[in-house]
Structure 1
Amino acid sequence: MVEIDGMKLVQTRAIANYIATKYNLYGKDLKERALIDMYVEGMFDLNELLKSCVFQPADKKEQHFTNMMDKTENRYFPVFEKVLKEHGKDFLVGNQLSRADVQLLEIILMAEEFKPDILAKFPLLQSFKARISNIPTIKKFLQPGSQRKPPTQEEDVSKMLKIFHS
């Protein structure tokens, strides 16, 4: 839950859309918003795949990891590399930072936590990561000790599951 502007908002997408609109990160028109939504929904799919890795049983973990990296490198990242190439701008949509750019940076950082050289075949994603990471407010947020959460540790999974199954 987020309390903002006298409201209590729940649901990640509703919160993200509200904040993106409030801070001009949600495109200049309906067409840009549709593209932002489309890209973000694809990133949420990849996000769920990456986050689910720690929840896999030990005997399925290696197979899940292989599948996850295959989809990241051969399905998702090629799409975003192509979007950046075809758009020909510094951002995924339009000529300014959007919610989609922030989300893509987070997905890249998550994927690199699993495989540090995952961007080796994606020069435009490499440039994108460097460019977006150097925006002053984002750069500050990415510094050690920031609020960006590390990936869930395996020992934390059993603690979380006990909460729901007690």
Structure 2
Amino acid sequence: MANVVLHYFNGRGKMESIRWLLTVAQVEFDEVHLRTREQYEKLVSDGDLMFQQVPMVEIDGMKLIQTKAILNYIAEKYNLHGKDLKDRVMINMYSEGLMDLMEMIMMLPFTQDRKSKLDAIESKAKERYLPVFEKALTGPIYLVGGKLSCADVQLLECTLMLEELFPGILADFSNIKSFQGRMIQIPAINRFLQPGSKRRPQPDENYVKTIVEVFQVKLPLP
């Protein structure tokens, strides 16, 4: 078994950004998929989930939770978090904005009135989020400091998610589209985008059903 083990459902969710970042850092990882309430309760009773939440990542002798904390640790460890404090705060601002947008997409399978939610996501993406990155990529190859960071990886992940829902959404964002083209040429990313990789597909009914059963929630969410 690899030295890094991911504990999560067999789907994207909040773990997918962690999979992406480990892939770009060229870190091998294994996964333990949560399938039953009993698995989750055992993690809680064993004290492995500080706030009774997943994702949880075993790495360097630690059991880490909280997605941002995990991403920051990986980014720092593998030199994907900028050269200094000013770089890091810019990277964090970009990353947190992207996470806000991706979380809206993650919640789609669990919410009612999918059409209005899709309309809201598309509108916010085009008016609030994508213009920021389009401007930031006017000239630079990467978002911050002229070198690859976790924010670049998350931007690629987020824009690919958006294109799955809205195929033409980047038509007016040529800098972002060019950025995508550069990023997918990185060998580790190119492999991750191929069939059979550890990249997870879009959520399906089984993924939603498993989460509902493990966490004992009622759908649809408001």
TM-score by length of 2: 0.69
Runs of 4+ in 1 over 6 A off after TM superposition: none
SS at match of 1:119: coil
**Which digits, 9 at most, give the CA deviation of each residue in 1:76-114, with x for residues without a partner?**
1111101112xx210000111000000100001111111
SS at match of 2:63: strand
- Cα RMSD (Å) of the superposition? 1.4
Aligned residue in 2 for 1:69: 122
Q: CA separation in 2, counterparts of 1:22 and 1:164? A: 32
TM-superposed deviation, 1:155: 4.9
TM-superposed deviation, 1:54: 1.4
The amino acid of 2:92's aligned partner reads: D
The amino acid of 1:105's aligned partner reads: L
The amino acid of 1:74's aligned partner reads: E
Among residues 1, 14, 25, which one is paired with 2:69 in the alignment? 14
1:117-156 paired onto structure 2 within 5 Å: 117-156=168-207
Q: CA separation in 2, counterparts of 1:165 and 1:35? A: 38
SS at match of 1:2: strand
Q: CA separation in 2, counterparts of 1:56 and 1:65? A: 11
Q: CA separation in 2, counterparts of 1:100 and 1:159? A: 30
Task: In structure 2, list runs of 5 or more residues that go unmatched.
Answer: 1-55, 218-222
Task: In structure 1, list runs of 5 or more residues that go unmatched.
Answer: none
Q: CA separation in 2, counterparts of 1:107 and 1:141? A: 15
TM-superposed deviation, 1:156: 3.1
Q: Which has the higher contact order (CA 8 A, sep 6+)?
A: 2
Q: CA separation in 2, counterparts of 1:30 and 1:150? A: 35
Q: CA separation in 1, counterparts of 2:64 and 2:212? A: 25
Higher helix fraction: Structure 1 or Structure 2? Answer: 1
Q: CA separation in 1, counterparts of 2:82 and 2:210? A: 40
SS at match of 1:3: strand
Q: CA separation in 1, counterparts of 2:205 and 2:176? A: 29
TM-superposed deviation, 1:29: 0.4
